[in-house]
Amino acid sequence: MNLVLFILFSYLLGSIPVGKLVGRKYGIDIQKKGSGNIGATNALRLLGLKPAVMVLVLDVIKGFIPVKLALQFLPTNQVLVIGVVTILAHIFPIWLKFKGGKGVATGLGVVLAINPLMAIVPFIVFLAIFLKTKIVSLGSILGVMCFPIVSYLMFPKLTIFYLVLFLITLWTHRENISRLIKGTEKRIMS
């Protein structure tokens, strides 16, 4: 019963469309402008730095909270299910007819709740790629790709979980990957 309640809680929390709500506060429907994505990158392009940081932080928090709570009451394998549900809730939110974001920030919150050390190498990779290319999607993909590698080296029992997170990231970034291959992916700043 606990697992069912946690799944419901994590889905409802994870599906809160933070970017859409912050955009509304600024009088912009970010689903209808820019990339149409409700994440921090589109918020940055449309709303500016402060609102984008708000979106980023709140998306991370909504990934962190259900997993951190689940760790107190559920076994590890069920906590991992809660983590995946929370990320999928961000990607497929009930409030937006199942058209949400890409799940990277919410996934970061999930990872931070499970083990903050796991985020160090992926964050460094993301930052290095982003600073070099100014392309958020490339930094995100390569950063998340580090999770299963780091897990295999440090926490091998969770490698499959982190591989699932990477595969979700590849799927949500499939259009970005196509644009990266064509050389048409947008940069944050020139």
Report DSSP letters for the chain, one per residue: -HHHHHHHHHHHHHT--HHHHHHHHTT--TTSSTT---SHHHHHHHH-HHHHHHHHHHHHHHHHHHHHHHHHHS-HHHHHHHHHHHHHHHHS-GGGTT----SHHHHHHHHHHH-GGGGHHHHHHHHHHHHHH--HHHHHHHHHHHHHHHHHHH-GGGHHHHHHHHHHHHHHTHHHHHHHHHT-PPPS--
Burial status of residue 177 (CB atoms within 10 A of its CB: 0-12, 13-18, 19 or more): middle
Q: What's the rounded Cα separation, in Å, for the pair 133 and 36?
A: 22
Residue 53 in contact with residue 38, Cβ under 8 Å? no
Query: For every one of its 190 residues, what pLDDT tens digit does the chain have, with 9 covering 90 and above?
Result: 689 999 999 999 999 999 999 999 999 999 999 888 999 999 999 999 999 999 999 999 999 999 999 999 999 999 999 999 999 999 999 999 999 999 999 999 999 999 999 999 999 999 999 999 999 999 999 999 999 999 999 999 999 999 999 999 999 999 999 999 999 998 986 4
Burial status of residue 182 (CB atoms within 10 A of its CB: 0-12, 13-18, 19 or more): exposed
Burial status of residue 133 (CB atoms within 10 A of its CB: 0-12, 13-18, 19 or more): middle
Closest CA to 158 of 92, 62, 52, 83: 83
Mean pLDDT of the residues in the chain? 94
pTM of the model: 0.94
- What pLDDT digit, counting tens, does each position of 131-177 carry? 999 999 999 999 999 999 999 999 999 999 999 999 999 999 999 99
